[in-house]
Chain A
Amino acid sequence: MAALPTQPAAAQESAPPSGAGGAPPPPRRGVLRALGRDPGAVLSAAYILLVVAMAVFAPLIVRMSGWGPYEFDQTAVNPDLGGVPFGGWGGAGGEHWFGVEPGSGRDIFARIVYGARVSMLIALAATALTTLLGVVFGLLAGFFGGKVDWVISRVMDFLMAFPALIFMIAILSALPAGNRAVLLVVVISLFGWPYLARIVRGQTMSLARREFVEAARASGAGRATIVFREILPNLRSTIIVMTTLAVPGYIGTEAGLSFLGVGVVPPTPSWGQMIASSVSWYSVVPTYFAIPGAFLFLLVLSFTVLGDRLRAVLDPQGVR
C-alpha cells in the first residue's frame, strides 16, 4: 500500500463510522460551513479545483502559454549535450514557463496541464466505478445475508488476498496497448471495490436490524423501497468519506502504473510517466522531476486532507 495505495490509506485505519447508523446525516449546508472554517480543507479544495480547472480548460490554457503538449522545440535543447535544456531551471522562462523536456524540448507546463486530464479522469472514473460496485455488492451482502453474503464475502476475501499491484502490472503489460485508460480504470476498480463493500456490508447489516427498518418492513414496504429509502440514505456520509479517501489512492495508483511504464500510452502526457522519464535526469535537471512530483504530491495530499476533514465533520463520534 505504501507504494501504490490500491486501497485508500486512510480507509484502512478507519473503523466504520459509528455515527452512520443512527443519527440522520447532518444537513449539507452545515457540512460546507464547517469545512469552510477549516483552512486545511479550504486550501485542499482550492488546489483540487485548480487541477480540475486545468484539466477541463487544458486546450485554452495551452493556447495562452503558447506551446502544445506534443510540440517539439528543438531550439530549446542542446543537441551536443544529450539534449539537455538550454538555460538553468530546466529551461524555464518566458517562452516555456516550467522549462522543457530534455531531448524533445516539449513544454513541461503544457504536459502538466494535459497530464492533469489523465490523472483526474482515470482517478474519478475509477472512483465512480469502485463506489458503484462497492455499494451494490456491500448492500446485497449486508441486506440479504446467507448464501449471497457468503459468496460475495468469499469473492472479496479472494480479491483482497491478491497481490493487486503485481497483478495489475502483469495484466496491463500483457494486454495490447489499445485503450489503456479504460483498462486502467477497470483494473483499478476490480481490486478496489471490496474495501468499500466490506464497510457498506457491515453497516447495512446493523441498519437492517434497526427499528426504523423493521417498522418499514412491517408497514409492507418492498425490499427495493427499504434499501433505497431507508438504508442507502443512512450510508450517505460513509460513502462520501470513503470515496473522498479513495480518490488519492487511485491517483497514486495511476501515476505509479504509468511510472512503471504500463500506464497510458505515449505520447499522452501523464504525471507518473513524466516522473518516470525524469529519473535519469534528476541530478542534471532537478526541476524536470520536481514539477510533476510536486503537482502529484499536492493533489494526493489535498484529497487526503479533504477526506480527513470530511470524516471529522460528518462523523464526529468516529475515529479522529
Chain B
Amino acid sequence: MARFLIARLSGVVLILLLVCLFTFGVFFVLSPDPAVQICGKNCTPELIERIRTNLGLDEPLLAQFFSFLGGLFAGRTYGVGESATHCAAPCLGYSFQSSQPVWDMIMDRLPVTATLAVGAAVLWLLAGVAGGLLGALREGTWWDRGAMVVALSGISVPNYVFALVLQYVLVVELEWLPFPGTVTFAEDPGGWFQNYLMPWIVLAFAYASVYARLTRANVIDTLSENYVRTARAKGLPRHQVIRRHALRPALTPIATVFGMDFAGLLGGALITETVFGLNGVGKMTADSISRNDQPVIMGVTLLAAFFVVVGNVVIDLLYTALDPRVRVNSA
C-alpha cells in the first residue's frame, strides 16, 4: 500500500510539474507582452524595456519558470525598489491588470463557485442516481423510457442553451423566479436559494443525465452477476439484495466518475457563471480571457489541473475502500 501511494504521488507531482511547464511555455510563447499591457496607451519603448527588466520578463523561459515555481512555495517579489510588490506564498502569479496576486483573486471568488459546485453536485448525484435506479429497477417500462429520454436530452443540450430556455420560461414567461442577482445567504436565505436554483439546475442537468445512464447500466449489470443471483436464490428479499449486494458495486464507478467530474467542474462553472452573471472563479476566468489577463488564466489553469490530478488520486484510494471486489484483490 505504501509503495503504491508513493508511486502514485510521485506521478502526481511529475504531472503537475509538466502541466506547469506546458502552460507556462504556451503562455510564454503565445500571450501578448505583459509589459505592453501594463504600459498602457501612452507608452514608450524605454518604458516597456524598464518594465520588462523590473519584472524579469527579459529572462529566458526556464529562469522565469523557476522563479514562478519558487513563488509558488516561498512567495516572490515583483519589481525592484519603491515600486516592488510582494506576492505571498502560494504565489500563483500577479495580475498586473487588476494589481492583485492571482491567489487572492481566486480566493475572493471561490465561495461563489464552491456554492455553485456543491449545490449542483448534490442535485446531480441525487437526480442521477435516483433516475438511474428507477430505470434499472423498472427496466423496459414507461418510467424507464421517460427517464432515459430526459437523460438523453440532458446529454445533448448545450448548457448555455438550456440556461436561456430555463431563464425564458421561469423568469420571463412564468415569473416564478427573479432575475439572478447578487444575494448572499446572510442577507436573505430564501432569495439566495432562488438565486442559485437555476445555476444549480443548469450545471447539474448534463451530469445528472450521464449518471442516470451510468447507474442504470451498472445496476442492471450487477443484478445479473452470479453472486447477486446466488443471494436471491438464497431467498433474500429483493430490496435487501439490491441494497446489500447490487447497489454498492454498481455505485462504485459512479464515485470514480464523480470525483473526476467534481474536480473538473471549473469548465462547466465557467459557462454557467457567465450566463447567470455569478461572480465566481469561472466568470473571473472568462473575464480574464477577454481581457487577456495572462497570469490569471494561467493561475486558474494550474489550480484546475491540480484539482483534477489530486482528485484522481483520491478516487483511486476511495475505490479500494469502496468496492469489495477490489478490496479482496488487494488484500
Contact = CB atoms under 8 A, between A and B. Distances in A.
Given A1-B261, A166-B300, A161 B160 contact: no
A279 B271 CA distance: 13
A260 interface: yes
Interface in B187-202: none
A256 B158 contact: yes
Interface stretch (A75-83, A91-99, A282-290): A282-290
A12 B257 contact: yes
Given A162-B305, A166-B304, A256-B271, A275 B160 contact: yes
Interface in B258-315: 261, 264, 266-268, 270-272, 274-275, 285-286, 289-290, 292, 294, 297-298, 300-301, 304-305, 308-309, 312
A304 B213 CA distance: 13
A273 to B, nearest CB: 12
Given A163-B266, A166-B285, A305-B152, A256 B160 contact: yes
B267 A261 contact: no
Interface stretch (A171-179, A213-221, A229-237): A171-179
Contact of B264 (A1, A170, A259, A272): A1
Contacts of B289: 169-170, 173, 260, 262
B164 A3 contact: no
What is the predominant secondary structure among interface residues of chain B facing chain A?
helix
Q: Which are the 5 A-B pairs with shortest beta-carbon distances?
A: A2-B206, A163-B304, A165-B267, A301-B156, A3-B268
B189 to A, nearest CB: 27
Interface string B180-191: 000000000000
A14 to B, nearest CB: 9
Contacts of A283: 168, 172
Counting contact residues on chain A (CB < 8 A from B), the size range is: 35 or more
A175 B32 CA distance: 9
A265 to B, nearest CB: 16
A9 B206 contact: yes
A25 interface: no
B312 A166 contact: no
A170 B300 CA distance: 11
Contact of B210 (A12, A278, A297): A12
Contacts, number: 162
B214 interface: yes
Nearest to B308: A161
Interface in A123-180: 154, 157-158, 160-167, 169-171, 173-175
B252 interface: no
B156 A297 contact: yes
Contacts of B83: none
Nearest to A259: B160
B267 A163 contact: yes
A275 to B, nearest CB: 6
A293 B300 contact: no
A165 B301 CA distance: 10
Contacts of B164: 275, 278-279, 282, 289, 293
